[in-house]
Structure 1
Amino acid sequence: MSGEFSMNQKLVELLAKRRSIYALGKNVTESKEEIVSLVKKAIRESPTAFNNQSTRAIVLFGNASDKAWDLVAERLKSEVPTEEAYAKTKEKINSFKAGFGTVLFFTHQPTIDDNKAQFALYADNFQDWSEQGLGGAQQSVWAAFTENGIGASLQHYNPIVDDMFKDAFNIPEGWVLRAEMPFGSIEATREEKAYMNDEERVLVIED
């Protein structure tokens, strides 16, 4: 097969620009309302199994976003073995806190439980399918941020902060925290990404 083709690759080119950005700042030109609208639309248009729409999100700005990362830092203090190691951990957490905001991603567990009961034949799959839907939503939000020049990364401090976040942000019952996405202006050049050989992970079978 030839590597040259004329198909439209705008989406692929956008995905290629996406990187985990750790040097975040608050110099974002878009308004909070525009960012929330972007997140809503990206999640709305992301596919889910049986169209169950099991993904949820909370967008934190200002003191609320800062508080989230302060809670993470507080919780990790008891987990990190030395003061030196904790200083490095705190530096990393502060880089997330330096951003413009944070998107918290959740799975709505009651939806998954209802699916399991309603479609018993596929019951064992719905938890995995919810993760696939969540991943699609995260990719969509991240790509939308990238298209607008907003940097982001995806973090996973759940479940150790679940209870703290629930108390701090009055998270609805049944919302299970799955990831945290700090975002903001890009304050440093993104690192190049290493790729494995395409032929090792994408096979082509022709009849």
Structure 2
Amino acid sequence: MRHVLAPSRLRATTNFAGLIRSTSTPEFSSTFTATFRQQTHRSLSIKPSLQKNFQTSSKMSSTQISANAVLDLIKQRRTYYPLSKDLGSLTVERINEIVKEALQHVPSSFNSQSNRVVVLFGAEHEKLWDITTETLKAIVPEDNWASTAGRMAMFKGAAGTILFFEDETVVKGMQEKFALYADRFPVWATQSDAMLQHTLWVALEAEGLGANLQHYNPLIDAKVAETWSVPENWKLNAQLVFGGKTGDAGEKAFGAVEEKFKTFGSA
């Protein structure tokens, strides 16, 4: 049986870990580590079988969640259609906090930090899908419009959308600074953006929300930039639609891992 901490417990654990990392004095670190162990057992009421997922390092003075706990969340991340406007107990402030934390800490090549994000809620979210609908209406054949219109209505019915961009000025600056790797920086920027997309998708899943990832760029790029005053050097890459789950995710098939994996050597 898999054990995954409830979102509130994960948040509490993260808060403790943050406090430990921000403390530089050994005396406080030692005292706080002992307090944290008591809190994870008493306040969070973690079952003994789950306590192995929390390991405290005396050298680093930080608390780490085990790989199994992280992998469980990754496994639970799925594509959900349709979504509702119900965010449960989550607030706009909390979601923005999650996005900002991920934006700051997802890695990028040479710490270039080329990722950019715009988060849309409520009427602003609905405006995005009205824009997309209008754009597609002009190019989709009439015979195919009914299904397209249905998809647009489905996305509009969700609670919000996260828009992912990469700052092309940053990428070009890195190309000039490190000319030897100039052809790689656009690829690395895309990889960093993909990591951010996945991180936020998993984080929203951890908070109990569903999401699906869309790519209506570059069709909507100009109108998005105009509507939300997005700098012209921000290139739109993807749209993560999120909201309350209205049903289960569909079945997911997996190819044999033996066909995808190789390993060599030993410890």
Q: For residues 130-161 of structure 1, what are the alpha-carbon distances to aligned partners after superposition, in whole Å with 9 as ceiling and x for unaligned?
A: 00000000011001000001111110000011
Tell me how far 1:186 sits from its aligned partner: 0.4
* Contact 1:106 1:179 (C-alpha < 8 Å) held by counterparts: yes
> Which residue identity does 2:203 align to in structure 1?
A
Task: Please name the residue that 1:27 is paired with.
Answer: 86
Give the counterpart letter for 1:102 in structure 2: T
Say which SS state the counterpart of residue 154 (structure 1) adopts.
Answer: strand
Q: How many residues align?
A: 201
1:72 and 2:132 correspond = yes
TM-score under structure 2 length normalisation? 0.73
CA RMSD, Structure 1 to Structure 2 (Å): 1.3
- Report the equivalent of 2:216: 157
**Aligned equivalents of 2:254, 2:155: Cα separation in 1:** 25
Task: Tell me the residue number matched to 2:122.
Answer: 62
Q: Which aligned runs of 4 or more in structure 1 are off by greater than 2 angstroms?
A: none
1:51 matches 2:111: yes
Q: After superposition, where does 1:91-170 map in structure 2 within 5 Å?
A: 91-170=150-229
Identity %: 36
Could you list the per-position Cα deviations for residues 119-138 of structure 1 after superposition, in whole angstroms to 9, with x for gaps in the alignment? 00100000000000000000
1:18 matched residue in structure 2: 77
What amino acid does structure 2 have at the position aligned with 1:143?
A: V
CA distance in 2, matches of 1:92, 1:197: 32
CA distance in 2, matches of 1:35, 1:63: 17
Unaligned runs of 5+ in 2: 1-52, 54-65
Q: Distance in 1 between matches of 2:261 and 2:149?
A: 39
TM-score (norm 1): 0.93
- How far apart in 2 are the matches of 1:71 and 1:8? 41
1:30-52 C-alpha deviation (Å, 9 max, x unpaired): 01000100111122121110111
CA distance in 1, matches of 2:113, 2:151: 33
Highest RCO, 1 vs 2 (Cα 8 Å, sep ≥ 6) = 1
Question: What displacement does 1:81 show?
Answer: 1.6
Give 1:181's aligned residue: 240
For the pair shown, the structure with the greater C-alpha radius of gyration is: 2
